């Protein structure tokens, strides 16, 4: 315990205790400090390679390979909402561990929304929304059975449902006329 200027006491960390023991020159304490210093150095962030060194050049697809699920969802939303007549929004299904319950429907896709489709018959034009559901997947990630069932049900009733791995793929699916 260390006494602070405010009069409160604070419990010292293991590192501080090891340093204090080394200062008091207890037997075996220096070895412990050297061992902890080696452990700490293992967890340090590696230094960046020098720029222009061919040995350290990254793979040309490195930014895509390291893309997270959240990054892909953000990219797909931005790209798809630029397509005229399309509105997509993210959907999160929360899991409450304390209650062991899923809040929301199991298998709900990452993105839901609609695409306005216009049908023309002679001089009459009718616009209606087409339900759109996209499940975004990154890397080796695959559809779970609940997600596959949701997308299959939506396709069966005429909606647009797909597993998406890039923003370009999503935009291409939305631009296809139905």
Write down the domain spans for the chain. 2-42, 62-175
Contact present, 88 and 74 (Cβ < 8 Å)? no
Interval 45-102: pLDDT, tens: 555 655 555 555 555 555 555 778 888 999 999 999 999 999 999 987 766 666 666 6
pTM score of the predicted model: 0.60
Say if CB 116 and CB 87 are below 8 A apart: no
CATH placement of domain 62-175: 3.40.1350.10
pLDDT digits (tens, 9 = 90+) for 151-170: 999 999 999 999 999 999 99
pLDDT class of 10 with cuts at 50, 70, 90: low
Q: Would you state the pLDDT for residue 105?
A: 79
- Distance from C-alpha of 47 to C-alpha of 109, rounded to nearest angstrom: 39
Report the alpha-carbon distance of residue 131 to residue 158 in Å, rounded: 8
**Residue 149, SS3?**
helix
Judge contact between 69 and 59, C-beta under 8 A: no
């Amino acid at each position: 315990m260390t006494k602070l200027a405010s009069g409160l006491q604070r419990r010292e960390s293991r590192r501080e205790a090891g340093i204090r023991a080394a200062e008091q020159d207890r037997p075996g304490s220096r070895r412990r400090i050297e061992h902890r210093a080696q452990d700490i150095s293992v967890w340090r962030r590696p230094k960046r390679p020098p720029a222009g060194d061919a040995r350290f050049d990254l793979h040309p697809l490195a930014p895509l390979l390291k893309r997270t699920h959240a990054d892909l969802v953000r990219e797909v939303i931005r790209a798809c909402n630029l397509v005229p007549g399309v509105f997509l929004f993210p959907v999160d299904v929360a899991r409450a561990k304390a209650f062991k319950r899923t809040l929301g429907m199991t298998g709900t896709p990452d993105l839901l929304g609609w695409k306005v489709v216009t049908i023309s018959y002679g001089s009459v034009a009718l616009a209606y929304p087409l339900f759109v559901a996209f499940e975004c997947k990154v890397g080796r990630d695959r559809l779970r059975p609940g997600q596959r069932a949701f997308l299959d049900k939506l396709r069966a009733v005429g909606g647009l449902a797909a597993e998406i791995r890039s923003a370009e793929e999503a935009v291409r699916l939305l631009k296809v006329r139905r």
